[in-house]
Chains A and B, each alone.
Chain A
């Protein structure tokens, strides 16, 4: 995996709970306290297969302000805020989506060849000559005549499949009419919405008689799918309704508890069992004839298809992607492809799975990309960054986040057994100063044991106050002094850090960030790393075999925060935030993070 060192991944607490319990709503705040004690015993292993699913960069995480915990994409539930067409940006009510499907019913179509948006053009012959006021006169009158859909990218047009439109609006109904007229359709998809009744039955009967005529034809006519679908839909609906009459256990579209079928079902479940097993419902059978939506494969049509492939060649055959995009199954050739109504898109809001609090909610207006609610982890959890102390760039103290040049191999390759110093910077996004306690296992988990020492595991980080406060005050004096000290100490970074990195002392401090030094002595790789080949299976007993990325030095680090904040309106975190004063309350939070430092050189 091509990773850019150094990186920081945050572990979502969902790694602890194997599944989200339905009754977790009440127990959520209490969970946090035992969580801490648990953690001190069993440390987090970034290499465990399970950890894989809970490690995210901080940018991907949200933060639940009720549970006071990080929320990863696994512990959110999504809700559709609105459906809209990406082309015309019209919002589609969800009831329409349910009845008409998730495609734009206005004039938006995609090219069946290359999927770009089709435009409506006029086929009217242009007037001859070019008069000076030509443009003005053109703008005055809209082009008339027949219209067609054309692709501005691959130059496909609906003329290739012989489709022209009389009007430049309401294309969907026109197209449906054309397709139906083309194939002598009797029914259409819109019939699905109409309630099933006697006349429907009659229609199906009528259709069946037509079908028997069609069956004698050597090749099923094009566009057959829609009738087939209607027939099959009606057939299964009829079967299900029969079934639900007979059997209360059956699937029915009515799930509400008040529905008669549900009540009879419940009565049966909890009743005295007076009703013994009566007549078993007859099983759902498959469609058996055309009126029921059965489709018989036609060997003749197969032969026709083969002959057709021979004549039209590769260019005339639709690709797999093109065929999959069509909603019909029997499309095999380019000249059978129809323009595709644009698929609708959604805006989604996200909720915490445990307390149902909304974590992010976009504005429901389609054309804005702003959010009403967006609880980012970035704004609630300190940001942890790491960089090598040796390769310290000459940087402005106001930009502590500036990392070493990413991808520089020297910086991310670690020499085994040589202690190296890294600068760990914690930036506080909160408006209260925090007390940070860091903890890490003394040796990293995994087969390459590296020693990690945090020289200053307990320190304070200032509040995220106004930027101008710092700019106007002399807060940068200290850090600039440090810089000048370093410069005077000489260019050799290694010896310099040996002098300066003192245990228990903060390396550098800024307005809302604090840097400390972490000493890492990378473990030595087993000797055989270079010699392990694919055929070499015998190394397993020696334990010398390294898995993929086993030489990457990842430090699990436990971060615990303590801070005092204004007692807000939310009392969700009351259990682990005991009240101090009337206005202040003490809070603590804790989470695991993983620092990817670099690759140990072999």
Chain B
């Protein structure tokens, strides 16, 4: 309760718009609309879904596609600047019983997504943390409480088990094979090229995805 009060305070002090979290709940969805702290430069599509009871904060420049779901029922979600959350991606602990039948898993209090993280469509993110510049490809599942380092690449359909820590510059590919991205580690120019590409992608998306921030504030 105490936590929720603090969240309510955060929401009210964010000062972007009036707080109408409880009144705007649609009758068709019985899940509560999450308290949010959104940067005015963030882009959140009209058909994105932000539900839960904890705070969802989205930083500047981040693009959230239609039909992406961010769920803060069990933990807060903090999305850093310049991230892309594609359609059908789910961020947040959705159902606790699935991953953790015994309940002995340490669940994150906050899901923290760093700067310039690209989360592709269909991905389920239950990780505690994703480091900056990491690419999470299509249909990846990041288990509850896992920690993904910076500059990682998780290729399509990979699964990171709950609670696992993936070090910086790791590439998960193929049949859950892992390797260190030495070229990225040793050649900073590649990182520059990659972030430039990400920047361009963001630039395009910001023009293409119509934003409806007011709906979620």
Known contacts: A130-B203, A154-B171. The answer to whether A123 contacts B187 by CB under 8 A is yes
CB distance from B5 to the nearest CB of A (A): 41
Q: Which residues of B contact A125 (CB under 8 A)?
A: 189, 192-193
- Judged by a CB distance under 8 angstroms, whether A315 is at the interface is yes
Q: Which residues of A contact B153 (CB under 8 A)?
A: 155
Q: Which residues of A contact B177 (CB under 8 A)?
A: 114, 154
CB contacts under 8 Å to B, within A116-168, are: 121-123, 125-126, 130, 134-135, 148, 150, 153-157, 159-160
Q: Which residues of B contact A121 (CB under 8 A)?
A: 193
Q: Which residues of A contact B174 (CB under 8 A)?
A: 114, 153-154
Binary CB contact string for chain A from 512 to 529 against chain B (1 if under 8 A, 0 otherwise): 000000000000000000
- Are A155 and B183 in touch, CB under 8 angstroms? yes
Partner of B183, one of A114, A122, A134, A150: A150
Q: How large is the interface on B (under 10, 10 to 19, 20 to 34, 35 or more residues)?
A: 20 to 34
- Are A154 and B173 in touch, CB under 8 angstroms? yes
- Judged by a CB distance under 8 angstroms, whether A113 is at the interface is yes
Question: CA A122 – CA B196 in complex, angstroms?
Answer: 13
- Are A155 and B189 in touch, CB under 8 angstroms? no
CB distance from A271 to the nearest CB of B (A): 64
CB distance from A166 to the nearest CB of B (A): 16
Chain A residues bordering chain B, tally (CB within 8 A): 20
Known contacts: A114-B174, A154-B171, A159-B186. The answer to whether A126 contacts B180 by CB under 8 A is no
Binary CB contact string for chain A from 528 to 569 against chain B (1 if under 8 A, 0 otherwise): 000000000000000000000000000000000000000000
- Judged by a CB distance under 8 angstroms, whether B182 is at the interface is yes
- Are A156 and B200 in touch, CB under 8 angstroms? no
CB-nearest residue of chain B to A154: B173
CB-nearest residue of chain A to B170: A155
- Are B200 and A113 in touch, CB under 8 angstroms? no
- Are A154 and B186 in touch, CB under 8 angstroms? no
Question: CA A148 – CA B189 in complex, angstroms?
Answer: 12
CB distance from B159 to the nearest CB of A (A): 17
CB-nearest residue of chain A to B173: A154
Q: Which residues of A contact B182 (CB under 8 A)?
A: 160
CB contacts under 8 Å to A, within B174-213, are: 174, 177, 179-184, 186-187, 189-190, 192-193, 196, 199-200, 203
Question: CA A125 – CA B187 in complex, angstroms?
Answer: 11
Question: CA A160 – CA B153 in complex, angstroms?
Answer: 17
CB-nearest residue of chain B to A157: B183
- Are A155 and B193 in touch, CB under 8 angstroms? no
Partner of B193, one of A126, A156, A315: A126
Question: CA A315 – CA B182 in complex, angstroms?
Answer: 12
- Judged by a CB distance under 8 angstroms, whether B17 is at the interface is no
- Judged by a CB distance under 8 angstroms, whether B46 is at the interface is no
Question: CA A141 – CA B36 in complex, angstroms?
Answer: 44
- Are B171 and A159 in touch, CB under 8 angstroms? no
Partner of A130, one of B190, B192, B199: B199
- Are A113 and B179 in touch, CB under 8 angstroms? yes
Partner of B173, one of A122, A130, A134, A153: A153
Known contacts: A130-B200, A155-B181, A156-B183. The answer to whether A114 contacts B193 by CB under 8 A is no
Known contacts: A114-B173, A135-B200. The answer to whether A154 contacts B179 by CB under 8 A is yes
Partner of B155, one of A113, A153, A156, A315: A153
Question: CA A126 – CA B194 in complex, angstroms?
Answer: 9
Question: CA A113 – CA B193 in complex, angstroms?
Answer: 23
- Are B192 and A155 in touch, CB under 8 angstroms? no
Partner of A126, one of B173, B184, B187, B192: B192
CB distance from B98 to the nearest CB of A (A): 29
Binary CB contact string for chain B from 94 to 134 against chain A (1 if under 8 A, 0 otherwise): 00000000000000000000000000000000000000000
Q: Which residues of B contact A123 (CB under 8 A)?
A: 187, 189-190, 193
Question: CA A315 – CA B184 in complex, angstroms?
Answer: 17
Q: Which residues of A contact B196 (CB under 8 A)?
A: 126
Q: Which residues of B contact A155 (CB under 8 A)?
A: 153, 171, 173, 179, 181, 183-184
CB distance from A132 to the nearest CB of B (A): 9
CB-nearest residue of chain B to A145: B189
CB-nearest residue of chain B to A143: B193
Binary CB contact string for chain A from 103 to 120 against chain B (1 if under 8 A, 0 otherwise): 000000000011000000
Q: Which residues of A contact B187 (CB under 8 A)?
A: 123, 159
Binary CB contact string for chain B from 5 to 48 against chain A (1 if under 8 A, 0 otherwise): 00000000000000000000000000000000000000000000
CB distance from B57 to the nearest CB of A (A): 25
A121, A122, A130: most-surrounded residue (chain B CB, <10 A): A130
CB distance from A127 to the nearest CB of B (A): 8
Q: Which residues of B contact A153 (CB under 8 A)?
A: 155, 173-174
Question: CA A360 – CA B132 in complex, angstroms?
Answer: 55
CB distance from A145 to the nearest CB of B (A): 9
CB distance from A315 to the nearest CB of B (A): 7
CB distance from A150 to the nearest CB of B (A): 7
CB distance from B64 to the nearest CB of A (A): 21
Q: Which residues of B contact A135 (CB under 8 A)?
A: 200
CB contacts under 8 Å to A, within B122-169, are: 153, 155
- Are A160 and B183 in touch, CB under 8 angstroms? yes
CB-nearest residue of chain A to B195: A126
Question: CA A456 – CA B154 in complex, angstroms?
Answer: 63
CB-nearest residue of chain A to B194: A126
CB contacts under 8 Å to B, within A366-400, are: none
Question: CA A154 – CA B177 in complex, angstroms?
Answer: 9
Binary CB contact string for chain A from 18 to 32 against chain B (1 if under 8 A, 0 otherwise): 000000000000000
Question: CA A235 – CA B141 in complex, angstroms?
Answer: 57
Question: CA A401 – CA B199 in complex, angstroms?
Answer: 56
- Are A315 and B180 in touch, CB under 8 angstroms? yes
CB-nearest residue of chain B to A159: B183
Question: CA A180 – CA B215 in complex, angstroms?
Answer: 64
CB distance from B110 to the nearest CB of A (A): 29
Question: CA A58 – CA B188 in complex, angstroms?
Answer: 58
Question: CA A153 – CA B180 in complex, angstroms?
Answer: 13
A113, A123, A148, A160: most-surrounded residue (chain B CB, <10 A): A160
CB-nearest residue of chain A to B188: A125
Q: Which residues of A contact B173 (CB under 8 A)?
A: 114, 153-155
CB distance from A314 to the nearest CB of B (A): 11
Q: Which residues of A contact B193 (CB under 8 A)?
A: 121-123, 125-126
CB distance from A207 to the nearest CB of B (A): 35
Question: CA A365 – CA B17 in complex, angstroms?
Answer: 63
Q: Which residues of B contact A148 (CB under 8 A)?
A: 183
Q: Which residues of B contact A114 (CB under 8 A)?
A: 173-174, 177
Question: CA A150 – CA B192 in complex, angstroms?
Answer: 15
B173, B177, B203: most-surrounded residue (chain A CB, <10 A): B173
What are 23 A-B interface contacts by the 8 Å CB criterion?
A114-B173, A122-B193, A123-B187, A123-B193, A125-B193, A126-B192, A126-B193, A126-B196, A134-B200, A148-B183, A150-B183, A153-B173, A154-B171, A154-B174, A154-B177, A154-B179, A155-B173, A156-B183, A157-B183, A157-B190, A159-B187, A160-B183, A315-B180
Other than A126-B192, A154-B174, A159-B183, give 9 A-B pairs with Cβ distance below 8 A.
A114-B174, A123-B190, A125-B193, A153-B155, A154-B173, A155-B173, A155-B183, A156-B183, A157-B190
B→A interface (CB under 8 Å) = 153, 155, 171, 173-174, 177, 179-184, 186-187, 189-190, 192-193, 196, 199-200, 203
A→B interface (CB under 8 Å) = 113-114, 121-123, 125-126, 130, 134-135, 148, 150, 153-157, 159-160, 315
Closest 4 CB pairs of A and B: A157-B183, A126-B196, A154-B173, A159-B183
